[in-house]
Amino acid sequence: MSILYNTEATLAERVDECLADDFKHNAIKAAQEAFYVKRGELVEEMGEGWQQLRMHAMEVRNHVTENLDYYVKQFAQNAEANGCVMHYAPSGDDALWEVLDIFESHGATYAVKSKSMMTEEVGLNEVLEETGIKITETDCAENILQTAESKPSHIVVPALHFNRSAIADIYREKRGYDGTDVPEEITHFLRKILRHEFMEAEVGIRGCNFAVASTGSVTLVTNEGNGRMVDSFPKVQIVFVGIDRIVPDLEALDTMMALLPRSAVGAKMTAYFSLDSGPRGTGEVDGPEDVHIILMDNGRHELANSEFQDMLRCMRCGACLNICPVYRHITGHGYGSIYPGPMGLVLTPGLVGYDDIDNMVYACSLCGACTEHCPVSIPIHDLVRQHRINIVNQGKNHKIEVPIFKALGLFWSNKPIYLAGMKLGAPIMELLGHDGALDASSTWIPVVKNWTSTRDFDILSKSRFRTWFKEHKAEQKNTEGGEQ
């Protein structure tokens, strides 16, 4: 996979498909509500402290962005001093090259992996599998997706689009599962089959939530413990770190960790949070002997010092997805990007440009709920709008938009045309509609059907507002006069 997927279908086709899948968007809705409620309780408990934390996180992240070259260098040097082997990847392809090189130099052919968006971004699994390397996803949901050959529909709970019996069937067919459809039984089956793999694999591949510049440490936030398994038992470890994951010091790490689990899943902490500083120490018998850090840019630096600079504060919590009314309906599969939802609308074109994203940045009502919920106060909806402005300014919008807006401009700025149009509007609409509205029966009309196939469009009133207002005022005057 790379950042974009399922691009053979148009955005509209993907959205239609998702809207037709009731189980899928009901599952997403349930997830949104669960996370929303739990997050809300914790935010309330913190009182004014929550806003202070957000503001502090923003100033810290901005400071890092403004000095990004310095902090990237400091992190790299300190991680190296900790005994990690550093690999620098200006592009995603550089990262793939380095990973293949690491496998080759260790003679390794078997890896376990804990969920990492950076590896999705570069399509690591596909590349490794092509070269004959076995790679097992170990996060429950990711393992379900890998076994079913499917894609994530949510960034925190990615396999929500499968119900329990579908998941049980997948494992019955592919892994010889013979239990019931009960989630607990399926999960414990996964515990059993994956446990063995953690011990056998030669390489562990993982991501990094925050990298600490002052100590050269990488961190991992998980609930299941698969991240800990991956970084405890394989002898070789590969850590993917984005240059936008860096915090200056350990105190800043605490600020981010006070915000991340609360925003992501509505918990004060996840079950596990590990702070890793180099390979196993003297006398230690578990933990990796070799740690390779892939420090990757892949287009991120272009966001710095640009109108999208605020996006570099993003900590990938998913809070914006959990509040988004559009995401609720079109789900993660509608967008066609591994980064879906509001944050994805900003980040995806930021990383891949405007040419291949279809109308993605219009999958947003600009309501601003995401901005309000963002733990690092990214003005997400403003940035979505900025993408739209850029698309128009670069002439990459639909060619028909210009004549349409010109015609509408003429209509509204020319009084005789406007009045004639308003007079004709009501009778024409009445002819086409029923009971005071253009309803689903009007879907044979091109353009109009895009609205009326899902919603009614009220028929224009025959009287004008100004006329009504004049009468209303006169009536009021009469009434008041009578009272005096």
* Residue list 212-231, contact with other proteins (CB under 8 A): 214-215, 217, 223-226, 228-229, 231
Q: Which of 10, 70, 366, 417 binds other proteins (CB under 8 A)?
A: 70
Residue 281 interacts with other proteins (CB under 8 A): yes or no: yes
| DSSP assignments along 20-67, one per residue | H-HHHHHHHHHHHHHHHHHHHHHHHHHTHHHHHHHHHHHHHHHHHHHT
Residue 232 interacts with other proteins (CB under 8 A): yes or no: yes
Q: Residue 134's beta-bridge partner residues?
A: 110
Q: How far is CA 170 from CA 97, 179, 194, 237, in A?
A: 33, 12, 16, 30
Residue 148 interacts with other proteins (CB under 8 A): yes or no: no
Residue 146 interacts with other proteins (CB under 8 A): yes or no: no
Residue 190 interacts with other proteins (CB under 8 A): yes or no: yes
Rounded to 5 degrees, φ, ψ at 443 are -70, -5
- Inter-residue contact 160 to 27 (CB < 8 Å): yes
CA-nearest of 396, 392, 262, 267 to 317 is: 262
Q: Which of 15, 18, 60, 135 binds other proteins (CB under 8 A)?
A: 60
What are the structure tokens assigned to 79, written together?
Answer: 């991680």
Burial of 482 (C-beta count, 10 Å sphere; 0-12/13-18/19+):
exposed
Residue 144 interacts with other proteins (CB under 8 A): yes or no: yes
Q: Which of 103, 177, 198, 308 binds other proteins (CB under 8 A)?
A: 198
- CB-side exposure of 388: number of CA atoms within 13 Å? 15
Residue 82 interacts with other proteins (CB under 8 A): yes or no: yes
- At closest approach, how far in Å is the CB of 91 from other proteins? 8
Q: Interacting stretch for other proteins, rule CB under 8 A, among 193-201, 320-328, 461-469, 475-483?
A: 193-201
- At closest approach, how far in Å is the CB of 136 from other proteins? 12
Residue 305 interacts with other proteins (CB under 8 A): yes or no: yes
- Inter-residue contact 151 to 1 (CB < 8 Å): yes
Residue 420 interacts with other proteins (CB under 8 A): yes or no: no
- At closest approach, how far in Å is the CB of 368 from other proteins? 22
| DSSP assignments along 206-268, one per residue | E--S-EETTTTEEEEEESSSHHHHHTTSSSEEEEEEEGGGEESSHHHHHHHHHHHHHHHHS-S
Residues 6+ apart with CB under 8 A from 91: 297, 298
Q: Interacting stretch for other proteins, rule CB under 8 A, among 152-160, 319-327, 405-413, 474-482?
A: 152-160
Q: Which of residues 250-279 bind other proteins (CB under 8 A)?
A: 250-251, 253-255, 257-258, 267-279
Q: Interacting stretch for other proteins, rule CB under 8 A, among 86-94, 380-388, 398-406, 455-463?
A: 86-94
Residue 151 interacts with other proteins (CB under 8 A): yes or no: no
Residue 40 interacts with other proteins (CB under 8 A): yes or no: no
CB atoms within 10 A of CB 316: 19
Count of residues near other proteins by CB under 8 A: 111
* H/E stretch holding 405: helix 401-413
CB atoms within 10 A of CB 165: 12
- At closest approach, how far in Å is the CB of 161 from other proteins? 11
- At closest approach, how far in Å is the CB of 454 from other proteins? 28
Q: Which of 15, 79, 141, 384 binds other proteins (CB under 8 A)?
A: 141
Residue 322 interacts with other proteins (CB under 8 A): yes or no: no
CB atoms within 10 A of CB 360: 22
Residue 118 interacts with other proteins (CB under 8 A): yes or no: no
Rounded to 5 degrees, φ, ψ at 477 are -60, -45
Nearer to other proteins, 25 or 228 (CB): 228
